[in-house]
Amino acid sequence: MQDISSENKRKISISEFPKEIPDFNSTYEPKDSVIKKWITNWIISSIKSNKIKENDILPSKAEISDYLGVSSGTVQNAIRYIEDEGLLKSKQKSGTMISNVTNPIAAVPKSTSKREKAILAIKKAILVNKYKIGKPVPATRKMSEYIGVSQNTVRLAYEYLCSEGILESLQMRGNDSNWYLKKLPELSSKELKNIDYIEADTLVDKLTDTLKRYFASNFQLGDKIPSHNILAKQFNVSIKTINDCIKRLTMQRIITTHRGKYGSILSQNPLAPVLEPLKENSIFAKAKDAEFYYYQKIETKLIEYINQNYNAGDKLPSMAVFAGLYNVSTNTIRKALISLEQKGCITFVRGRFGGTYIIQKPDIITGQQYKWLSINPDYI
């Protein structure tokens, strides 16, 4: 399919979108899934009525997110789903365009992303670990640790596997869900052998290397590097992509980040061999880690409480009640309940008769390790 110059491409006005926007409060589906269907239906109907044509440019993600009252990330996820179906195509510096309107499924697919590699890795995990049909698959957090990608990438991959009929998503709350195996994926023996967990050559990988060369050529040790916003504009990427790159460079001790006006400092030669991670010098865990472990302690208490007092189908007390019972914040209770939801034990229901309901009694945790006592295991 031959491309045309940007001067001949028409940018679609946000006013051309449907006046009736989705009601996100009346469905358990994630917002990005609802938006995907909404935009897809509009594209198909507009193509049929000749209101839009191939290579017309969508409004920016920021415009769409403002129009719908959601985050740009949610809109980005929805657009990725539509790109998978061939109705849209994204091109750097040009925007997101309507794809081959005569045969959208036959449109040229976009280059392989980390999400697409994650889809293959998850399929392999399902087969290698012999997950059972009708049973829950690991929560997105657990799967992300297993295959080595972000939790959001796993969620996007799970959503795609739902569209293939391999997974089924039940009782969703916001972007969280319980994921069940509906049918086994099909992979050849060669595919099973070749899939690794996951060494994808992604935009973050490439840009991290580019930033190393850029910092080495333009800055001295001790210099303050430009802000994330400036770097994002300079390299024409999102601020999130820059954040991910700087995190990697910080872990490699190339960049040292400071709060406030001091910003991020170039602390090591970017082109030198990667140094070993910094050794821990405190016996106490960081506050963030201590908080993480503390909600696990509360989760253990909630499991005991639920098993002693409730059965499947029962409604649990509010988070405020549990917070008062265990003398912790509601945020700690929320994290513990979300962990139980991801394990398929409870579900959150919206609306007038909503609340937290038990799907199945959680297993009692035995031999609990007291890592939540705020002792730093790396120091030990």
Q: Are 17 and 38 in contact (CB under 8 A)?
A: no
More confident: 203 or 369: 203
Residue 337 in this model has a pLDDT that exceeds 80? yes
Q: Tell me the β-bridge partners of 355.
A: 349
Residue 315 pLDDT greater than 60, yes or no = yes
Q: What is the pLDDT of residues 50-63, one digit of tens each?
A: 888 888 899 988 89
User: Helix (H, G, I), strand (E, B), or coil: what is residue 109?
Assistant: coil
Residue 90 burial (C-beta neighbours within 10 Å; 0-12, 13-18, 19+): middle
pLDDT at 49 over 80: yes
Torsions phi, psi of 378, nearest 5? Answer: -65, -35
Residue 197: per-residue pLDDT: 53
- For residue 180, is pLDDT > 70? yes
pLDDT digits (tens, 9 = 90+) for 205-248: 778 888 998 998 899 888 889 988 889 888 887 777 788 888 88
Which residue shows structure tokens 């970017």?
270
**How far apart are alpha carbons 342 and 348 in whole angstroms?**
11
Identify the bridge partners of residue 90 per DSSP, sorted by sequence position: 96
Query: How deeply is 118 buried, as exposed, middle or buried, from its count of CB atoms within 10 A (0-12, 13-18, 19+)?
Result: buried
Q: Is the pLDDT of residue 17 over 90?
A: yes
Instruction: Give the span between the Cα atoms of 190 and 186, in whole angstroms.
Output: 12
DSSP letter string, 258-322: -SGGG-EEE-S-TTSPPPPPPPP--SBPPHHHHHHHHHHHHHHHHHHHHHHH--TTPBPPPHHHH
Query: How much is the pLDDT for 194?
Result: 62
- Tens of pLDDT, residue by residue over 50-97, are 888 888 899 988 899 889 988 887 888 888 778 777 788 877 667 888
pLDDT (mean) for 109-134 = 77
3-state secondary structure of 107: coil
pLDDT score of 195: 58
* β-bridge mates for residue 265, sequence order: 224, 256
With beta carbons less than 8 A apart as the criterion, state whether 222 and 265 touch: yes
Q: String of b and e for 202-217 (b: at least 16 CB within 10 Å)?
A: bbbeebbeebbebbee
